[in-house]
Amino acid sequence: MGNCIRSILSQHVKGVKKETIVVDDCSEDRTIEIAKRLGAKVVAKNRRTGVPDSFNIGIKVARGEILALVDSDAYLMPDWLEASLAEIERGADGVHPTNITYQPDKTFRKFAALWPVKGFSLPTLGDASLVKREVFDKIGLFDEWFAPVGGQDFEIALRAQKAGFKIVASSKAKYFHDFVVLRRWRDRLKRTILYESGRVKAWLMHLDYPPARIGLINDWFWFLGFPLLWLLRKVSTHSKIV
C-alpha cells in the first residue's frame, strides 16, 4: 500500500491538482496507518465488500472531474499521469495503461489460447485507469455482483463503450502490478477462478454488443467450464485476493 500511494503522490503535471483517497476494505494490516501518514484521505468500511464497492465509494467521495482508479497493489510509473492525460486530451473518455508485470496466471492462459481471436483487445476500467466522471454519471457505477473481485473492470468498460464513450488502451501510460499475494499455488488458483468466471460473466451480460461476443469466443475454454467456475466462485466470495 505504501508503494502504491507513493507512486500516486509522485505524479506531477503542471496545473493539475490531486487528492488521494484510500478506501479500506477491512484490511488486517497497517493500511490505514500508512495511508494517513502519507497524507491520504481514508474511508474505512465496517465490513468487507470487495473491489467493486470500494471503487464506488471512492468515486462518490472524490471531488475531481477526472478520476484515477488504482488497485492497492499497483505501482504507477513516473509518467503515468502525464501519459494518461495526454490520451484524455486526444479525445479519450477512459484510459487503461499497459501492465508491465509478468502475469502469474500465464500457465492457465496457454490452455485458453488454443483458438484465440487474433487482434482482439478490449481496454478495461480498473487496476490503474483514468476515467472522466461523466462516464459514471451516465452509465452508473461498478456492478457489485462481481464482488469480491474479477470481471468488474471488463463489464463497466463494455457498458461505457456501448454508451458511446471512447475507452482506449495506452502503450505509453504504464504501471506495475505486484502479485506478491499470489506466490502460493492455492492463491493463484483462487484468483484464476474469480477473474475468469467474472470475465465470462461480463461477456454474457453484453452479448448484444459485438466486442463482447468476440470476447466470449476468445474465452471459449473458460466458457465451457463456466458452470463449474460459477460454483467455485461461490466458495471464493470471501477471498482476500485482489
pLDDT tens digit sequence for 161-218: 999 999 999 999 999 988 655 567 787 888 889 999 999 999 999 999 999 999 999 8
Give the DSSP H/E element, type plus range, for residue 56.
helix 51-61
Q: Are 173 and 83 in contact (CB under 8 A)?
A: yes
Please return the burial class of 105, using the count of CB atoms within 10 Å of its CB with bins 0-12, 13-18 and 19+: middle
pLDDT for position 183: 66
Task: Please give the Cα distance from 169 to 173 (Å, whole number).
Answer: 9
Q: Considering the chain, what is the average pLDDT of its residues? A: 88
- CA angle 109–162–220, rounded 5-degree value: 25
**Stated pTM of the model:** 0.88
Q: Which residues contact 192 (CB under 8 A, 6 or more apart)?
A: 105, 108
Res. 116: pLDDT tops 70: no
pLDDT value for 161: 96
| Domain annotation for the chain: domains and CATH numbers | 2-105+117-181 (3.90.550.10)
> What 3-state DSSP class applies to 110?
helix
Q: Which amino acid is at 79?
A: D
pLDDT of residue 157 exceeding 90: yes
In this prediction, what percent of the chain has a pLDDT beyond 90? 75
DSSP 169-238: EEEEEEEEE--GGG-SHHHHHHHHHHHHHHHHHHHHHTTTSHHHHHHHHHTHHHHHTHHHHHHHHHTTTT
**pLDDT for the residue 111:** 44
Number of alpha carbons in the 13 Å side-chain half-sphere of residue 116: 9
